[in-house]
Amino acid sequence: MIIFLRRFAHYAVYLLAGGVILLSCFALALRVLIMPDIGRYKADIEAGAGRAVGMPVKIGEIRADWSHLNPRFSLRGLTLVPAGQPAPLRLDRVDATLSWLSLALMEPHLVSLDIDRPTLEIRRDQTGVILVAGIPVNSSGASSPFPDWLLRQRSVMVNDGKVVWIDEMLAAPPLNLNHVNLGLASRFSRHRFGLTAQPPASAAQRIDLRGDLNGHSVHDLAGWHGQLYLRADAAAAAGLNTWSPWAQSSVKRSLGNVRFWADIDQGRIQSVTGDVGLADVAVSLAADLPDMTFARVSGRLGWSRKGDRQTYSVQGLRFITPSGQTAEPANVKVSFTPTPAGKVESAQIAADSLRLEALTAISGAVPLPRQAHDWLAAINPHGFIEHIDLNWLGKERFRLQTRFRDAGMNPTRNLPGLSGLNGEIEADESKGQAKLDSQGLHLIYDKVFRQPLDLSRLTSEIKWSGSASAGYRFDLVHCELSNLDLDGQVQGNLTVPPGRAPVIDIQGRLNRGNGTAVWRYLPRQVGDDAYLWVKRGILGGTSPETTLTLRGSLDRYPFDKGGGLLQIAIRMQDGVLDYATNWPRITGINGWLTFRNNTMTLDAEHGQILGARLETVKVVIPDLYYSPDTMLTVTGQASGPTAAFLDFIRQSPVNEYMGRFTDEMKATGPGRLHLQLVMPLSEIDRTRVAGRFVPQDDSIALNDQLPGLTNVTGALNFTDAGVKGEGLGARLFGQPIAISLASAKGGRVHASATGSLTAATLARWLPDALDRRISGSTRAQADIVLRPHSVDLKLNSNLAGLAIDLPAPLGKPANQETPFTLSAQERGDGRPPVAFRYGTALAGVLMPGDSPARTRLGIMFGSQPVAMPKAEGITVQGTLRRLDFDAWRRLDLGGAGRDGLPLRSVNLTFNELLAFDRLFHDINVQVGPEQRAWKIQLNGQGVQGEVLYGPQPGTPGDSLIGRFKKLDLPRAASTAVSRQAIDPNDLPKEIDLAVQAFAYDRRDLGEMTLKLTAARDGLVIDAGSLKAPEARLEASGWLSASALRNTRLNLKLDSGNLGQLLRRLGYSEDIKGGELAVQGNLDWRGRAEDFSKDRLGGALKVELKNGRFTQLDPGAAKLLGILSLQALPRHIVLDFRDVFSTGFAFDSIRGDVMLDRGIGYLPDLYIQGPSAKIHMKGKIDLSHESQQLRLHIQPSLTGGVAVAGALLGGPVVGVGALIANKLLKDPFEQAASFEYLVTGGWANPVVAKLARPVAENAPVRP
């Protein structure tokens, strides 16, 4: 064996070497002899290629080269001429790389075949034969070997080609596929390919077709198996239908992406799986039905077959209809096995997550019988099928299992409508069971109930069994139901015998019931009048126990003529019964409400009517169903508070019988009422009434405005015809009065009363702030006439015995008689006009409105008549000789005017008006609204202008804006008012005053402006100014409202002629000329009214130029009110007439004054004059009018004029002038400067010369 192997290897090596030598020789010959001159062999190549492809082949040009070790041929102008085809197939360029296996296979075998930009025509003729470039691929005759030869090549590539599809069977226009790229790779019997193409834009954006197949010949499809994949982007069914085999299919339009996988076995498609995501889908399943349209469709579709059994499935199917109906991702699987005749005798359906609303929305487009379409449209099923499994076993045999939630349907003539049903069902052809567990069940069954029923919870189990021949029995094993109205259980059964009416036997018990909901559960057979009465009449109550019995043949229901029993017995607690319109309700009912067939009875053991206790009340409706004049009878008696029976009268038609005079009556005390009512439910207005009310020593008030009556006795009888009082008497304010009361035709009632009127009584009609200012009592008489919807009242008194403690003109002593009258006439609106007069001082008329803002009140001061104002609010007018406004301000009227009655206008003229301790003469004041603010106009002696008070745009809070042509403030009569502290919270947020001509105590101060802003603890002086021809004063700062903070003022005073300014202010012209500039600040601890000299602080810079002090009044040698709050820039005037006699001229006076707690410090003050130069420093005490100053004086040796003067800023400058004058009496003897110490009071200063060497004399800095 070893020897044999050695010999075999030896010969194999020689054989292989020989083959390699031969192959090399052939390759060498091919390369050297044949390929360089390949054109000589074109005919041979055409013949060989023709034999391979099975048709004549023509080559325009041929080139040859090498691809690695394989020869490669490049063909130009290649033409294939199929047999019987008039148009040949032309290929511009074909590159073929020849495999050496061609020698072994004895046919051209290519490593690769590349076809560049070919144009290929594929045609399906009218017989169904498909021809590719004229080559038939599915004909039954002789077949072309070209397709199979092509499958034997290792690699075939088509680049950027074009395919034209012509379908003569569909008579469709040609379909052009551009940019076709094809790759085919074959290994033995396995063929993998990929093709991409661009169809027309109306069909799709791109097509991608791939395959992995196994097979040997296209003419033997039964031997093929493998997989195909197809993807189309933006595929449009409307365009594809033109060329697709399903051109007449039901898919009319769609747009989206699709992917399909197909499994092939034995040449047949065994399964197809596809993913779709489509929009704007329209499907037509029948010509006479509307299109099935979807806004979007997505999911996975599947079809498969295994033997004869076929299965259709969808997974994750979701669609949205144009109306917005959305189907959750659903799974459906349908399997069936058709018979050889094509019929389906059994099937299995399994589905999950089905939204019935979405399916119902598209059901109209599904081919179904017309009755089915109508039935689905009528019931409109909705809900969610979580799972369903249906096995149809043929004929009448089936098995069903399903689970659902929120299921429901619309009601029909015979079927109830429901929603919110949850449960599961198991059934077959002979028995079944349903378990329900619903929360939020809504039931509509118009055939039984008038109103829909809502159950917050329903749990039940129903079993059934039977057959069509033996009948059916339904057992309600248990049922628990609850909602806001009830909570209970029901059991029973229903038997449906064949050919006879069903028989029912139901028992129920409720542990909780709501009386106001009884009407919802009444059978529809209850008549309309009775049904509406129960609905309107039972307004409250609960039931701890309710029993239900329904027994009998349903063809005798509602058993009003026998044949069964329908009984509902309700144990009522705290029931409320509104038995008739316009009659008071009965409350607190405890008893039994029973419905037995066609009769209703309410037996109340006790109850209440408006607080009165009822005894033995009975309400009966004898026939609930068919009576044309259903009667309601109510009988009973009550005892309780009289107030309750007055309410009964007011809330019943009895009130009209009495002329409504009890509308505003109030009462305390007991009484008794007997009542009987007979009411036709269809005509409640024909109710017959009989009753009697007896008060028992009660207290009664006719209304809130009139005084109450006590110890009322007598009786009041009433029927539906009228009312009459018997022996009525009472006491008023502790005094006996006689009352007469009688009704007449038209419902009129006459009443009269006489008695005393005290201050305590009047306090009820007066504001709280005024009731304590009235004392005493007086006699009064009242006459009242009551008509339907109207009341006339007249009250007269001379007020003798009443004292009124108010300022003039309203006050009076008790012994003074002042006639007072009041009249009111109500005409049905409840707001009668009221007119009153108080002597000759005041008259008024009041028209109440439905709110204070709509009430009209006119007041006239004086003896003139008053007219009703045309506008809502208070209108005040008239003339007063004198009004002490400060006296009215000092009154404690807290609480007055808080009822919200708006002020409309004020127009008052005063001969004298005392306001803020200042007396104004002949002044007219007009007040009225201006948008959201108040406009106050003032005209009189010394005052002319207007004030706007209220909110302004852009300003938080209220503002006060005053604009005056003139304003002359009189001097205050006392300081009591001015010293009163001002609370910033009581002031407007902003104050803006401007006066063209401002005067104080008849002193003209020029034009004045002032702007203030209220802050938390005071007032901010934003800007203030006084302008006169001689001077201008500007000020800003802070006015404190707290004693713990400082008030601060910033001042700037400029005057071109100080002498004339002093004369304007009322002083003698003590200074000739003088240009003054003062700037600085003042402050003191506390509020503005806390100003005092000993608290004064601050800093002032003073400069006075080019003036002369004249001979002055000796009495003015004191510093008067320096920098006080009452006169901020008041001048300091000094006189030393006993020293100076001719006055003192100055060029300048300048320096700083520092103030601290009433003491002024002078660090440096310089006086420059023709006679001397003066430098002083020290301090002055404003509180004690004293000083301690040190003066340095340098006389002028060139002048001979005596020094005299008074210096601005205090006695400091005056003392300096005094010393200088003494020194200059002998100017030729004093040639050096001197220093002096000035102490003592301002009026009598003590001057002491300070010794200093001559060498120390130094010039004074100007």
Cα separation of 404 and 198, whole Å? 48
Mean pLDDT score of the chain: 80
789 vs 1109: which has the higher pLDDT? 1109
Question: Residue 1213 above 90 pLDDT?
Answer: no
Question: Cβ(385)–Cβ(399) under 8 Å?
Answer: no
Listed range (14-23, 300-309, 1040-1049, 1157-1166) with the worst mean pLDDT: 14-23
CA dihedral 307, 310, 316, 322 (to 10 degrees): 150
Q: Decide if 452 is inside a domain.
A: no
Amino acid identity at 529? D
What's the token pair of residue 1182? 């404003």
995 and 1080 in a single domain? The answer is no
Mean pLDDT of 459-488: 89
For the stretch 721-763, pLDDT in tens is 777 878 888 887 777 788 888 877 766 778 888 888 888 777 7
Q: Decide if 1219 is inside a domain.
A: yes
Question: Cβ(1122)–Cβ(1131) under 8 Å?
Answer: no
1112 and 993 in a single domain? The answer is no
1246 and 1110 in a single domain? The answer is yes
DSSP-based three-state secondary structure for 804: strand
Cα separation of 362 and 177, whole Å? 36
1166 and 1211 in a single domain? The answer is yes
What global pTM score does this model have?
Answer: 0.49
Confidence of residue 399 (pLDDT cuts 50, 70, 90): confident
Q: Domain end: 1044, 1061, 1093, which one?
A: 1044
Confidence of residue 1206 (pLDDT cuts 50, 70, 90): very low
For the stretch 670-680, pLDDT in tens is 888 888 888 88
Confidence of residue 7 (pLDDT cuts 50, 70, 90): low
Q: Decide if 333 is inside a domain.
A: no
Give the number of residues written for the chain.
1262
For the stretch 1154-1165, pLDDT in tens is 999 889 999 988
Using omega within 30 degrees of 0 as the cis cutoff, is the peptide bond preceding 653 cis?
Answer: no
DSSP-based three-state secondary structure for 573: strand
Q: Decide if 964 is inside a domain.
A: yes
Closest CA to 1129 of 1079, 1191, 1178: 1079
**C-beta atoms surrounding 1245 within 10 Å:** 20
Spatial neighbors of 126 by CB under 8 A, at least 6 apart, are 168, 169
For the stretch 767-787, pLDDT in tens is 676 778 888 888 888 888 776
For the stretch 977-1010, pLDDT in tens is 444 556 667 778 899 999 999 988 888 889 999 9
Question: Residue 1139 above 70 pLDDT?
Answer: no
Spatial neighbors of 142 by CB under 8 A, at least 6 apart, are none
Confidence of residue 1143 (pLDDT cuts 50, 70, 90): low
Q: Decide if 746 is inside a domain.
A: no
Question: Residue 1113 above 60 pLDDT?
Answer: no
For the stretch 1032-1081, pLDDT in tens is 999 999 888 776 778 899 999 999 888 888 888 777 666 788 899 999 99
Q: Decide if 1204 is inside a domain.
A: yes
Q: Domain end: 1044, 1064, 1098, which one?
A: 1044
For the stretch 898-926, pLDDT in tens is 455 678 889 999 888 888 778 888 999 99
Question: Cβ(1161)–Cβ(1222) under 8 Å?
Answer: no
Confidence of residue 973 (pLDDT cuts 50, 70, 90): low
What's the token pair of residue 955? 């300003």
1037 and 1159 in a single domain? The answer is no
Looking only at the bridges linking them, the beta strands covering 873-884 and 856-861 are: parallel
1029 and 1117 in a single domain? The answer is no
What's the token pair of residue 1249? 């010369």
For the stretch 40-68, pLDDT in tens is 778 877 887 777 677 788 888 888 888 87
For the stretch 801-847, pLDDT in tens is 999 888 888 888 999 988 988 888 776 555 678 899 888 888 999 88
**CB-count burial class (<10 Å; 0-12, 13-18, 19+) for 331:** middle
pLDDT value of residue 1252: 59
Q: 261: part of which helix (H) or strand (E)?
A: strand 251-265
1145 and 1217 in a single domain? The answer is yes
1015 and 1152 in a single domain? The answer is no
Q: Domain end: 1024, 1044, 1064, which one?
A: 1044
What's the token pair of residue 882? 């004198």
Cα separation of 197 and 1258, whole Å? 118
1078 and 1201 in a single domain? The answer is yes
Question: Residue 258 above 70 pLDDT?
Answer: yes
Confidence of residue 1198 (pLDDT cuts 50, 70, 90): very low
pLDDT value of residue 329: 87
**C-beta atoms surrounding 1179 within 10 Å:** 18
Confidence of residue 490 (pLDDT cuts 50, 70, 90): very high
Domain containing residue 1039: 922-1044
Name, of 52-56, 208-212, 339-343, 704-708, the range with top average pLDDT: 208-212
Q: What is the DSSP string of 1154-1214?
A: EEETTEEEEEEEEEE-SSEEEEEEEEEETTTTEEEEEEEEEE-TT--PPP----TTSHHHH
Cα separation of 165 and 245, whole Å? 12
Closest CA to 277 of 298, 302, 252: 298
Closest CA to 773 of 759, 786, 789: 759
1094 and 1039 in a single domain? The answer is no
Q: What is the DSSP string of 1034-1089?
A: EEEEEEESSTTSEEEEEEEEEES-HHHHHHHTT----EEEEEEEEEEEEEEES-GG
Distances (CA, A) of 267 to 131, 207, 216, 217, 218: 20, 23, 12, 11, 10
1033 and 1077 in a single domain? The answer is no
Question: Residue 1025 above 80 pLDDT?
Answer: yes
Mean pLDDT of 349-374: 80
1138 - beta bridge partners?
Answer: none
Question: Cβ(272)–Cβ(264) under 8 Å?
Answer: no
Cα separation of 659 and 653, whole Å? 10
Q: Decide if 1096 is inside a domain.
A: yes
Mean pLDDT of 620-632: 77
Using omega within 30 degrees of 0 as the cis cutoff, is the peptide bond preceding 809 cis?
Answer: yes
Question: Residue 1260 above 60 pLDDT?
Answer: no
pLDDT value of residue 1228: 37
pLDDT value of residue 1161: 92
Listed range (197-201, 521-525, 572-576) with the worst mean pLDDT: 521-525
Q: What is the DSSP string of 1099-1144?
A: EEEEEEEEEEE----GGG-S--STT-SSSTTPPP----TTT-SS-E
Question: Residue 1116 above 80 pLDDT?
Answer: no
DSSP-based three-state secondary structure for 20: helix
Closest CA to 862 of 912, 908, 906: 908
pLDDT value of residue 489: 93
For the stretch 209-227, pLDDT in tens is 999 999 988 878 888 999 9
pLDDT value of residue 436: 92
Q: What is the DSSP string of 403-468?
A: EEEEEEE---SSS-EEEEEEEEEEEESSEEEEEEEESSEEEE-TTTBSS-EEESEEEEEEEEEEET
Cα separation of 301 and 875, whole Å? 87
Domain count, the chain: 2
Closest CA to 507 of 521, 493, 525: 493
What's the token pair of residue 867? 């007219």
Question: Cβ(726)–Cβ(713) under 8 Å?
Answer: no
Q: Decide if 170 is inside a domain.
A: no
Percent of the chain clearing pLDDT 90 (strictly above): 18
203 vs 1091: which has the higher pLDDT? 203
**Radius of gyration in angstroms for the set of CA atoms belonging to the chain, rounded to a whole number:** 60
Mean pLDDT of 342-350: 79
1018 and 1109 in a single domain? The answer is no
Question: Residue 896 above 70 pLDDT?
Answer: no
Mean pLDDT of 681-694: 80
